[in-house]
Structure 1
Amino acid sequence: MEINLVIIPTYNEKENIERMIRKVFSLSTPFEILIIDDNSPDKTAEIVKKLQLEFDGRLHLLEREGKLGLGTAYLSGFRYAIEHKADFIFEMDCDFSHNPEDLEQLLSACKKQGADVAIGSRYIKGINVINWPLGRVLMSYFASVYVRLITGMEIMDTTAGFKCFRRTVLETIDLNDIRLKGYGFQVEMKFTAWKHGFQLTEVPIIFTDRQEGSSKMSGGIFNEALWGILRMKLRSWFKHFEPQKNQLA
């Protein structure tokens, strides 16, 4: 039986977590969810544990000792997905900035259209961002322009965090060699998959800023991505990327 695993990192998401879980499980496609909680003071994990009684076998929880970063959360989730033989693995935020209904679009792009990585893109058809201040929209948009210039990738939304991977991609990438831990992590995963020859496809989505809870964005995260992308590109000149052939499921 095909396993579609949605990985959702959380830190203080008690306002959103139950609604998000119920929404994903209400979709016509059968999904499983892995919550990775960084010891949220608001007891997000306790809400998940109660819901596990209702969604036995579909809702999974990894608890970490503290706030260890977005990238390390996803890397833990990827290792879990590989170990449990998930077929398609998704990254998604808990705050409804990513519409859960778009999970099925991302899955279709991989499963039916042959993509190895499907990216929920804010910028493939204009700028589709709701409720962000203009400054943040411009910062995000031109960050992707910067990444395209540095890396050579023809991806409009290089920093997107709403994605679907085939398991083969995660098995091929050396997860221990992924260096960036903040939002630069999203770029490094795309870049590494691209360097291996996997097919990346962008799926248009509408991104809506969170209405409940607080944003995790900071200037430090942005700076890490800015300089980290340069270091990532330089490191790639001295690495061998085994070419992979795209295969339809």
Structure 2
Amino acid sequence: MTRRPDADVLVVLPTYDEAGSIRAVIDRVRIAVPAADVLVVDDASPDGTGRIVDEFAAVDPAVSALHRDGKRGLGSAYLAGFARAREQGYRFVVEIDADGSHDPAELLAMIALAEAHAADLVIGSRWIEGGSVVNWPWVRRAISRSGNRYAGRLLRSGIADITAGFRVYRVTALEGVDEAVVSSHGYCFQVETAWMLERAGRRILEHPIAFVERASGRSKMHAGIVAEALWRVTAWGVRDRLRGGADAATGRS
């Protein structure tokens, strides 16, 4: 893939078995941000998602596919996209789900927010004023709200929706965010990367969005993902407090 001369934004779509939604999502992204390039990172989807993306790429120079040899995880897919964005000289890189739950029409406002306020990360947030979720059962809504609150308290974060997966990053802010320093490759990747930027003093803003439950395919969320996130957030929070206590005792900052 070669960046088109007028493309400052790279939209990264990680996929695994998203044949039922990927056509519509790519179409919606291309309509919403026609100047952006689209990179689909497919983990050898057995349902033919990668083949569908190749068909798009054959007729649209803005679309390309990165085919990987197995299911390597959401975080790993985004890190591959981040690396491509740095290598090709994009200004912004976008995270967005491939199941249609995020509305690409919000991207122009999110990118404009990053531009106007020199933000390093703009998060499409469900849990700030104006944000919402659609077609979620109360149990999942409660898990998401309580998970965000728990992470916020443990990590001493000011981000309302730290688990959100709809994001615009300034590429320069992602220098050093790679496989060597990021430990999460599942959904907890979102928490870890946002917290890394927040601790580094990067400017983070949130933009209200409506998150809509997928209309086709199966959700990748399960109890194991929730348990992993809970364990990792707890470990990070405890470690951060222990380090803070040690720094205070020795006079370091």
Structure 1 counterpart of 2:194, from 177, 190, 193: 190
Instruction: Indicate conservation of the 8 Å contact 1:128/1:205, yes or no.
Output: yes
1:247 paired residue number: none
Question: C-alpha distance in 2, partners of 1:153/1:27?
Answer: 31
Instruction: Give the length in aligned residue pairs.
Output: 239
Q: Could you say what secondary structure the match of 2:221 adopts? A: coil
Q: Could you say what secondary structure the match of 1:94 adopts? A: coil
- Which residue identity does 2:13 align to in structure 1? I
Q: Could you say what secondary structure the match of 1:181 adopts? A: coil
Structure 2 counterpart of 1:33, from 23, 32, 38: 38
Kindly indicate whether residue 213 of structure 2 is the aligned counterpart of residue 204 of structure 1: no
Structure 2 counterpart of 1:173, from 153, 174, 177: 177
1:244 paired residue number: none
Question: C-alpha distance in 1, partners of 2:157/2:93?
Answer: 22
TM-superposed deviation, 1:113: 2.2
Instruction: Indicate conservation of the 8 Å contact 1:173/1:193, yes or no.
Output: no
1:65 paired residue number: 69
Identity across aligned pairs (percent)?
37
TM-superposed deviation, 1:136: 0.3
1:13 paired residue number: 18
1:45-56 aligned within 5 A: 45-56=50-61
- Using the size of structure 1 for normalisation, the TM-score is 0.91
TM-superposed deviation, 1:175: 4.4
Kindly indicate whether residue 165 of structure 2 is the aligned counterpart of residue 161 of structure 1: yes
Between 1:165-174 and 1:36-45, the stretch displaced more is: 165-174
Instruction: Indicate conservation of the 8 Å contact 2:7/2:36, yes or no.
Output: no
- Using the size of structure 2 for normalisation, the TM-score is 0.89
Instruction: Indicate conservation of the 8 Å contact 1:5/1:33, yes or no.
Output: yes
Question: C-alpha distance in 1, partners of 2:219/2:32?
Answer: 26
TM-superposed deviation, 1:233: 3.1
Kindly indicate whether residue 221 of structure 2 is the aligned counterpart of residue 217 of structure 1: yes
Query: What does the per-residue CA deviation read over 1:162-181, in whole Å, with 9 as the maximum and x for residues that have no partner?
Result: 00000111114354211112
- Which residue identity does 2:39 align to in structure 1? L
Q: Could you say what secondary structure the match of 1:47 adopts? A: helix
- Which residue identity does 1:34 align to in structure 2? L
Question: C-alpha distance in 2, partners of 1:28/1:164?
Answer: 13
TM-superposed deviation, 1:112: 1.7
Segments of structure 1 that go 5 or more residues without pairing to the other structure are 240-249
Question: C-alpha distance in 2, partners of 1:238/1:178?
Answer: 20
Query: What does the per-residue CA deviation read over 1:205-227, in whole Å, with 9 as the maximum and x for residues that have no partner?
Result: 00000001110001111111001
Instruction: Indicate conservation of the 8 Å contact 1:29/1:104, yes or no.
Output: no
Structure 1 counterpart of 2:49, from 26, 44, 50: 44
- Which residue identity does 2:151 align to in structure 1? V
- Which residue identity does 2:9 align to in structure 1? N
Question: C-alpha distance in 2, partners of 1:196/1:159?
Answer: 18
Instruction: Indicate conservation of the 8 Å contact 2:155/2:236, yes or no.
Output: no
Instruction: Indicate conservation of the 8 Å contact 1:178/1:189, yes or no.
Output: yes
Q: RMSD of aligned C-alpha atoms?
A: 1.8
Q: Which runs of 4+ in 1 moved over 6 A?
A: none
Instruction: Indicate conservation of the 8 Å contact 1:2/1:86, yes or no.
Output: yes
- Which residue identity does 2:24 align to in structure 1? R
2:139 paired residue number: 135
Question: C-alpha distance in 1, partners of 2:121/2:179?
Answer: 16
